[in-house]
Structure 1
Amino acid sequence: MSSSRQKEQQQQQRRPGLQKQHASKADAAKAAVLAELRPGQSVELLKELHILTREGQLNQDSRRKLKQVYHLYQFIEPVLTELAANDHAPTLADHGAGKSYLGFILYDLFFKQLGRGEIFGIEWRGELVERSRDLAAQLAFDRMKFFNLSVAASTQSQELPERIDMITALHACDTATDDAIAFGLEKKARAMVLVPCCQAEVATCLRQGKALQLSRTPLAELWRHPIHTRELGSQITNVLRCLYLEASGYQVTVTELVGWEHSMKNELILARYTGQKKRSAAERLRAILAEFGLEQSLAHRFPQLPAADPDPAAH
């Protein structure tokens, strides 16, 4: 027998063993991926969201995305559980939804198993709304609805319920986070989960009055340089938002959304309604507006701010 014939026979003998070894490795890889998912989680959804590859695998980038989703879910799930008490059907509006990444994950992990409640995705780009509707139909996520609206316009929309339990706004740009807060107040939301994105409104106002403020107070040095103007504007914006929520009866927690290291916008504002409106928060909000010369330009952002006390010393 020729040597080439012998090699061919040896390869044929080894082939079943190699195939079995490859199958075993594939099964082990699949099991490892499933072990990282939550029980009952839709693999098909994760593929559609590009968290899993078409082969059902996790690469380094998608594994990081999955951890980010789970970390955010740790903040939201306990609040949803409270909202769903006593057989209540919780409602959630996701503002600036984009591809409704967050809404789909929340439905898959919580609402699907709960068997009641609705999620409303609000997004101004029509093509993304249509894509989300198609995906929800494909996955039979029947209690998800999507609206082609801006965050600001959604407050006046007759298509949405009068009351909504939870508001989420993940990286809603510039004043869209303020619009989401206004929506939450109008809908008497019991909880709001906000991760603000870029903010230009306050920085623009600070820039316009910079020369006057520099002559008026040494604090204006905090925003004399353009990069500091942008950073301080962002900081002031979120501080004002928190004070407004507290003045409107919410308990506010601000923390870092650990695990989103790839994003510079890493601040999570969690507000839960208690009904205890803090007068001191309203007073400090007004004081900050006055200190930075923002009364005229930003007063419209806080329409539900309680009236100023005419004689604070009387208390």
Structure 2
Amino acid sequence: MEIYKKPPDFKEVANKWWTQDRLKKIMGDKNYTITPLNAPLLLRSLGLLNSDASISPDNLKKFIQINHMFNLLEPHFEDLVKRHKKVCILDAGCGKSYLTFLLAWCFIEKWKHPVEIIGVDTNTKIIKSCNEKAEKLGYSSILKFESASMLTYKWDKETRPNAVVALHACDTATDMALSFAIKQKADFIAVAPCCQAELARKWKDSETSHPMSPVFHTPQVRREIAAHFTDALRICLVRSKGYEVTATEFVPSAHTPKNRLITCIRRGNHLESAEKEFVSLKEHIGGNVITLEELLLNEI
């Protein structure tokens, strides 16, 4: 008679696989917050660890990327933990929600602090999958996902969101997230813009003579430069609303061109000098209106 053997717990599998030598190979001298040893179930649920707890080369890149991103953001969330009895976070355009799940893990396992996290995305299949993962991990009491557009999303909580994040929200979705966060007076905002093509489209249709016409009518150059100017305009607009804004590279450009992280800390309600900078820059590059400017005109 064959004796049934209970399959090993995944934590046990991870503990056996991840020797100090193997950890050192993937982490080097980096001090990552999330590791295969302290969060194996989380990383397995996110699809980053294989069934034997190993990690493939492609997933290793994602593991390093999300940890580096988290290390950049972690001090800001630790500050929110110190300032608020309960932290409210919105992930706009959450997608597969790597950061959202990492935050949930940290609030539960590391900071042990009350939190409410909401992920919003227009993709209903992704939202369903994320809610199922949250349930499976035991996070559903603090982490929920909703299907909605940030253009129409309504925050119906008693308190405002303390933080709004939008990582790789495509094109004008970043503007929608920024506008929502500013109008809600979020303490902290973090966005990593992606595929911002709005300004490039408007430049392409420009028929007037302008000093930047050679850029306007050269597709490859137009797209790249327009993306940089779009972020510059966004930075001016956010600063004009009383935020201290920093732009940093969070992934080496050799890995991806989508590597700009813009972090914003609320310091006040208005900064006139930044508003003047925005107007001047806008006029200098053709006078086109970007979505963030248009959305902020409709003040709540």
TM-score category by the smaller chain? Answer: 0.7 to 0.9
Q: Among residues 268, 285, 298, which one is paired with 1:292 in the alignment?
A: 285
**CA displacement 1:198-226 (0-9 Å, x = unmatched):** 011111111111x31xx3x3232233311
Q: 1:278 to 1:190 in 2, by over 3 A?
A: same
Ranges in structure 2 where 5+ consecutive residues have no aligned partner: 1-13, 28-33
Q: Among residues 127, 130, 138, which one is paired with 2:128 in the alignment?
A: 130
Structure 1 runs (4+) greater than 6 angstroms displaced: none
Q: 1:82 to 1:132 in 2, by over 3 A?
A: same
Q: 1:58 to 1:39 in 2, by over 3 A?
A: closer
Name the structure with the higher helix share: 1
**CA displacement 1:50-95 (0-9 Å, x = unmatched):** 2111110122222222111111111111111111115521111111
Determine the C-alpha separation between the residues in 1 that align with 2:108 and 2:162: 14
How many residues in Structure 1 have an aligned counterpart in Structure 2? Answer: 274
Higher Rg of the two aligned structures: 1
Q: Among residues 16, 28, 31, which one is paired with 2:19 in the alignment?
A: 31
SS at match of 1:41: coil
Q: Among residues 241, 246, 251, which one is paired with 1:253 in the alignment?
A: 246
> Is 1:49 aligned to 2:49, yes or no?
no
Q: 1:87 to 1:279 in 2, by over 3 A?
A: closer
> Is 1:202 aligned to 2:199, yes or no?
yes
Equivalent residue for 1:117?
115
Determine the C-alpha separation between the residues in 2 that align with 1:119 and 1:181: 17
Residues 194, 269 of structure 1: 8 Å contact kept: yes
Equivalent residue for 1:4?
none
SS at match of 1:293: coil
Equivalent residue for 1:150?
149
In the TM superposition, 1:1-315 aligns within 5 A as 29-32=17-20, 37-38=34-35, 41-86=38-83, 88-113=85-110, 114-141=112-139, 142-154=141-153, 157-160=154-157, 162-209=159-206, 211-212=207-208, 215=209, 217-259=210-252, 261-275=254-268, 277-295=270-288, 299-303=293-297
State the one-letter code of the partner of 1:30: W
TM-score normalised to structure 1 length = 0.79
State the one-letter code of the partner of 1:151: M
Q: 1:276 to 1:149 in 2, by over 3 A?
A: closer
For residue 30 of structure 1, report the CA deviation from its aligned partner.
2.6
Determine the C-alpha separation between the residues in 2 that align with 1:106 and 1:296: 35
Equivalent residue for 2:31?
none
For residue 276 of structure 1, report the CA deviation from its aligned partner.
6.0
State the one-letter code of the partner of 2:124: G
State the one-letter code of the partner of 1:250: Y
